[in-house]
Amino acid sequence: MARIVMKFGGTSVADLDRIKNVARHVKREVDAGHEVAVVVSAMSGKTNELVGWVQNMPKVSGANHSIYDAREYDAVVASGEQVTSGLLAIALQAMGINARSWQGWQIPIRTDNAHGAARILEIDGGEMVRRMKEGQVAVVAGFQGLGPDNRLSTLGRGGSDTSAVAIAAAVKADRCDIYTDVDGVYTTDPRIEPKARRLKKIAFEEMLEMASLGAKVLQVRSVELAMVFKVRTFVRSSFEDPDAPGMGDLLNPPGTLICDEEEIVEQEVVTGIAYAKDEAQISLRRLDDRPGVSAAIFGPLAESHINVDMIVQNISEDGSKTDMTFTVPSGDAEKALRVLGENKEKIGYDVVQSESGLVKVSVIGVGMRSHAGVAATAFRALAEKGINIKAITTSEIKISILIDGPYAELAVRTLHSCYGLDKS
């Protein structure tokens, strides 16, 4: 007997038939004698629809721009998961399984006050565990919790992954299975590169980089939690026949295991390629080259909650003026330009230029730590395809390259094949 947390994403619960199919996956584990908690997302497309509704409502004029009450945003967008948790509980009951739904506030899943992108602080799983021990399946609405203000909170897009891993840690589950529309983590997004290969295992650090650099298969925070709390997390498919051989394997279920580097025997130099669309590049020209200028630029941007990514500062030709270039998500570009405009005097620059619709492609692998020439291979391969590089950043285990939007797919495929990741 084991304790298992099973999470099903939006496409897995997209309609009533798929919810019934999910119930069969749950039944398989229940019949095997396991204690089960299930975490569900909203039906695919639902959260986008709810977010759209909020964005189309009239807003209050705030200090810098129009705003809406983030607590009410959460009240609206958390509703999609309430529906699927109830429906799945009903489907399970119809199969003769003792099940009930749990909303975030009922458990409760306590979060901080950052409405719209809250972090889980504490989960009191006591009552849930007591009932699981009695054989009741807990069907938990993902993505949502309860803030310190006693209001509903949500965990940021893709947050049901984080709900699942956090619950698995809280109830000390033996395993957390993230069921989705692909059968594991691939060397790159299989929708972009059909030659992508499924990985049997991927190291926590690599998965963290993949997720933060754009591979949306797992929310970044869920990988952080899995790493810190040592949750045995698998990514696997909900579209396979729930009763196919091996699906109920306790130790080696089909899919990809996220694990410690040491668990991976045949470590490649490069593990995967990720990409993030909709990046914008902002350049400040003829900037005063003096101590404090970076703080003058990035301080106000941070205060406005703008996530700055790649930063490149040119060497000053005459010692007095320089150029600074950085990237932000395209959606934040307008806000960033406004903040820079408001601080023009304090920063001291001549003109600001911006370009949207760029893409960041990244090469990831812990093997890079001990191998030279990985970056050069990427640059050569992109050059051969005539793809111009606009900015580069590197860390120990990743190289990120900024390019023009239309080249995204070609760049992903080029990098994927130049490191021999294509399946034979």
Residues of the shown chain interacting with ligand ADP in the complex, contacts defined by CB under 6 A: 9-12, 41, 158, 180-182, 185-186, 188-191, 210, 215-217, 272
To ligand ASP, the closest distance from the beta carbon of 91 in angstroms equals 19
To ligand ASP, the closest distance from the beta carbon of 142 in angstroms equals 6
Q: What one-character-per-residue DSSP string does 274-334 give?
A: EEEEEEEEEEEEEEE-STTHHHHHHHHHHHTT-----EEEPPPSSSSEEEEEEEEEHHHHH
Q: Which residues bind ligand ASP (CB under 6 A)?
A: 9-10, 41-42, 47, 80, 142-143, 157-161
To ligand ASP, the closest distance from the beta carbon of 89 in angstroms equals 18
Residues 6+ apart with CB under 8 A from 361: 273, 274, 275, 400, 401, 403, 408, 411, 412, 415
Handedness of CA 237, 215, 167, 18 (dihedral sign): negative
Q: Which stretch binds Mg ion (CB under 5 A): 21-29, 151-159, 253-261, 267-275?
A: 151-159
To ligand ADP, the closest distance from the beta carbon of 19 in angstroms equals 14
The item of ligand ADP, Mg ion, ligand ASP, none sharing an interface with residue 309, based on CB under 5 to 8 Å by kind, is none
191 is in an annotated binding site: yes
81 is in an annotated binding site: yes
217 is in an annotated binding site: yes
Place of tokens 């106000």: 300
158 interacts with Mg ion by CB under 5 A: yes
Please state, in angstroms and rounded to a whole number, the distance separating the CA atoms of residues 300 and 295. 8
Binding mask 4-43 for Mg ion (x = CB under 5 A): -----x----------------------------------
Please give the structure tokens belonging to residue 389. Answer: 């590089």
Please state, in angstroms and rounded to a whole number, the distance separating the CA atoms of residues 319 and 339. 26
- If we measure between CA atoms, which residue out of 105, 177, 183, 184 comes closest to residue 141? 105
DSSP element (H, E) containing 253: none
159 interacts with Mg ion by CB under 5 A: no
Amino acid, res. 368: M
9 is in an annotated binding site: yes
Please give the structure tokens belonging to residue 16. Answer: 């009533």
Q: Which residues are annotated as a binding site for substrate?
A: 47, 81
Q: Which residues are annotated as a binding site for ATP?
A: 7-10, 180-181, 186, 191, 216-217
Q: Which residues bind Mg ion (CB under 5 A)?
A: 9, 158
